């Protein structure tokens, strides 16, 4: 059953427009409180990123939850994975993050974690949506929730991150450029890496409520190239606005995306440390990752796009490591959700233990050329209903054989068909992508 408000990662939209209005978010807080606090007097932890609308939505959620009878603890600006961790550590009923992740400042969103630090299951999200249809009624005065502020959140999360690698691992002598996207990691990440001994050069650590993700961070990792080269840094690390994504850059200015980060972590933990299991990627993960993992004897599975689907596949397989090309990396042996700082630390630990550079750490994986063509549609369609499209795909797959792959995927947010082709031959990939896109246009016109 489809959901009215919740998407693949909570609720998100343009500030001031449904669903991201103060009225809606207050009602959402109340509805979530009624559903989540049914069994006992509940306690919810709220964190947010640095966008200006966070002040409004924090107050709205606080009011709605308290009206439903739940106590609230405010963390202030903190990375999304910090909220997941603190929710678990405090044995809270739930955690809520006010963030639109990598989106611009004029968007915002609300995402939830259960008491174990995992995203809410579909059944609970449906229950919250159903409760939104009920009239909002406050509990009696003596049962209203109270609101507290967590004063030591920053320090506790810094220690959690540092403890995700071996105690004696030191980054002393290493030069690192950090781009915090003027987002939630701005006052956390520099301390983590400095306290581990690194020399840190900062970017994107001056949030003003309007500059989150603007030409910086994981969406624009090239922004730190000049600083990496100027300071002859060992690597650059770029986070997105809420800190659950990360991109890396080696000493030559070459960007390393989520697929390559997954490869390095898998080599480190599955092959060398004996963690066992395999790796979960998505339908968009580069074929080069799949082939490189196979060469290392590491099983690989693909999930639908979105960290929720990656998590579901990890749990069903009993594995620990998964993620997306965008840099959303999950290491279930350490965290319950994607964590940019911890993912970066896993790579750095491997570099230190093996005494190698970042460029050397990712050797063994060759990304294949990948071309994406978006074909606009007048309305959403079912690709399977068009034999001409299927024939074009079959012909392309036959030409690529086992050196490439084809993926047609309807956009989840707009009337588009995304045509993706990847393979070893860049010219062939480009040609086939446009051939299939032309077939989609012809078949649907």
Sheet holding 199-203, edge to edge: 199-203, 175-179, 235-239, 246-250, 255-256
101 is catalytic: yes
Count other Cβ atoms within 10 Å, centred on residue 269. 22
CB contact set of 41 (below 8 Å; sequence gap of 6+): 69, 70, 71
Given a contact cutoff of 8 angstroms between Cβ atoms, the answer to whether 288 and 365 are in contact is yes
Alpha carbons within 13 A on the beta-carbon side of 71? 14
Which residue has 């993050």 as its token pair? 97
Where are the alpha helices (H) located in 4-145, listed in sequence order? 22-36, 54-67, 80-89, 122-131
Q: Of 334, 340, 313, which Cα lies nearest the Cα of 80? A: 340
DSSP notation for 152-203: THHHHHHHHHHTTS-TT---TT-EEEEE-TTSTTTTTHHHHHHHTT-EEEEE
* Spatial contact of 251 and 232, defined as CB atoms under 8 Å apart: yes
The four Cα atoms 102, 5, 132, 39 give a dihedral, to 10 degrees, of -70
Of 70, 189, 42, 207, residue with least CA distance to 139: 70
The region, left, alpha or beta by phi > 0 then psi within -120 to 50, assigned to residue 232 is: left
SS3 of residue 249 by DSSP: strand
Question: Which of 357, 363, 374 has its CA nearest to residue 411?
Answer: 374
Task: Say which of 53, 99, 101, 285 is annotated catalytic.
Answer: 101
Alpha carbons 97 and 12: distance in angstroms, whole number: 11
Q: How far apart are CA 253 and CA 235, in angstroms?
A: 8
Which sign, positive or negative, has the C-alpha torsion 386, 390, 395, 396?
positive
Cα 144 to Cα 30: distance, rounded to the nearest angstrom: 11
On whether the CB atoms of residues 87 and 150 are closer than 8 A, the answer is no
- Positions marked catalytic: 101
């Amino acid at each position: 059953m489809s959901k009215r408000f919740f998407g693949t990662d909570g609720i998100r939209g343009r500030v001031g427009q449904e669903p991201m209005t103060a009225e809606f978010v207050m009602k959402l807080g109340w509805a979530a409180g009624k559903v989540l606090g049914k069994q006992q007097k509940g306690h919810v932890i709220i964190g947010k990123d640095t966008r200006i609308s966070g002040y409004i939505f924090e107050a709205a959620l606080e009011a709605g939850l308290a009206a439903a009878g739940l106590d609230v603890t405010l963390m202030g600006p903190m990375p999304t994975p910090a909220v997941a961790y603190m929710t678990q550590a405090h044995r809270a009923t739930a955690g809520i993050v006010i963030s639109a992740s990598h989106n611009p400042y004029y968007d915002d969103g609300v995402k939830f974690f259960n008491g174990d630090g995992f995203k809410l299951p579909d059944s609970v999200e449906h229950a919250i949506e159903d409760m939104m249809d009920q009239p909002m009624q406050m509990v009696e005065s003596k049962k209203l929730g109270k609101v507290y502020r967590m004063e030591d959140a920053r320090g506790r999360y810094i220690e959690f991150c540092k403890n995700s690698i071996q105690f004696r691992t030191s980054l002393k002598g290493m030069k690192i450029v950090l781009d915090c996207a003027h987002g939630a990691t701005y006052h956390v990440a520099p301390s983590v890496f400095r306290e581990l001994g690194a020399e840190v050069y900062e970017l994107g650590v001056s949030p003003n409520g309007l500059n989150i993700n603007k030409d910086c961070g994981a969406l624009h990792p090239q922004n730190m190239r000049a600083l990496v080269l100027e300071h002859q840094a060992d690597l650059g690390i770029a986070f997105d606005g809420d800190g659950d994504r990360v991109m890396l850059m080696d000493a030559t200015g070459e960007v390393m995306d989520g697929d390559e980060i997954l490869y390095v972590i898998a080599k480190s933990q599955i092959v060398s440390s004996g963690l066992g299991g395999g790796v979960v990627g998505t339908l968009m993960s580069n074929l080069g990752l799949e082939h490189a993992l196979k060469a290392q004897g590491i099983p690989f599975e693909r999930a639908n796009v979105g960290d929720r689907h990656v998590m579901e596949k990890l749990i069903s397989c009993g594995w620990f490591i998964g993620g997306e090309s965008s840099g959303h990396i999950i290491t279930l042996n350490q965290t319950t959700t994607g964590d940019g700082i911890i993912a970066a630390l896993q790579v750095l630990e491997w570099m230190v233990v093996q005494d190698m550079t970042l460029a050397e750490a990712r050797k063994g994986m060759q990304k294949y050329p990948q071309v994406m063509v978006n074909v606009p549609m007048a309305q959403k369609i079912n690709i399977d209903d068009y034999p001409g499209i299927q024939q074009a795909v079959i012909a392309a797959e036959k030409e690529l054989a086992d050196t490439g792959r084809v993926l047609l995927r309807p956009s989840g947010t707009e009337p588009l068909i995304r045509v993706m082709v990847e393979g070893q031959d860049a010219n062939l990939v480009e040609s086939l992508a446009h051939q299939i896109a032309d077939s989609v246009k012809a078949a649907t016109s």
